[in-house]
Chains A and B, each alone.
Chain A
Amino acid sequence: DTEVTQTPKHLVMGMTNKKSLKCEQHMGHRAMYWYKQKAKKPPELMFVYSYEKLSINESVPSRFSPECPNSSLLNLHLHALQPEDSALYLCASSQARDTKYTGELFFGEGSRLTVL
């Protein structure tokens, strides 16, 4: 069983909808990540939060808005998405940079998003 939980597992939305993806971890990790994965491609980094602060934004369009309410939760707010945004969205967590950092990421099972 994964220790990173993502909800919902599947989401279908129209281009004018507003929805959110949620991620939760209870491993005491202080870094959390959003990745986007298209079919037959590797995961692409979108955002990194370290100690609840946004540390990396990989030039992601503003229709994706991340939020880290506390050290265990990570949200991805979606608004006015395009059909090409359909993908598997993966959340991951890791130890933060200034602890016993190994770079190992723990992934959730993903939220499969379809934009109509």
Chain B
Amino acid sequence: AQSVTQLDSQVPVFEEAPVELRCNYSSSVSVYLFWYVQYPNQGLQLLLKYLSGSTLVKGINGFEAEFNKSQTSFHLRKPSVHISDTAEYFCAVRWGDQGAQKLVFGQGTRLTINP
């Protein structure tokens, strides 16, 4: 079965430091990739998405991610984090035509920014 793995459940980082949140998925056949952010007591907001084309994708709030087909990864990066980036981050994958409307989420990574 297809799966999404977020390798770190928690990532503590100092303010203005760079951060990488890791995401791997189980199969590289025709994937569509997403990163969502969830602030406390809120819904999920799309940060960025990869559908096709350039493997480096830029999103909102200074985040970017790189699609690596050979490593089946879609890691999220930000060069300098702010206190306001403290949130839960979810990687999500849709596989080609399989269950077209099913978006599979990873377990989430809690990003905590320390001053």
Which A residues lie at the B interface, using CB under 8 A? 2, 4, 6, 31, 33, 40-43, 45, 48, 50, 55-56, 90, 92, 94, 97, 101-110, 112
Contacts and interface: CB of A to CB of B under 8 A. Distances in A.
B94 A103 contact: yes
A112 to B, nearest CB: 8
Contacts of B46: 104-106
B108 A107 contact: no
Interface string B31-51: 010101000011111100101
B69 interface: no
B100 interface: yes
Given A102-B49, A102-B51, A45 B100 contact: no
Interface residues of B, number: 23
Contact of A102 (B32, B106, B107): B32
B43 A108 contact: yes
A103 B107 contact: no
B108 A103 contact: no
A105 B32 contact: no
B107 A2 contact: no
A27 to B, nearest CB: 13
Nearest to B90: A42
B45 A42 contact: no
Nearest to B94: A103
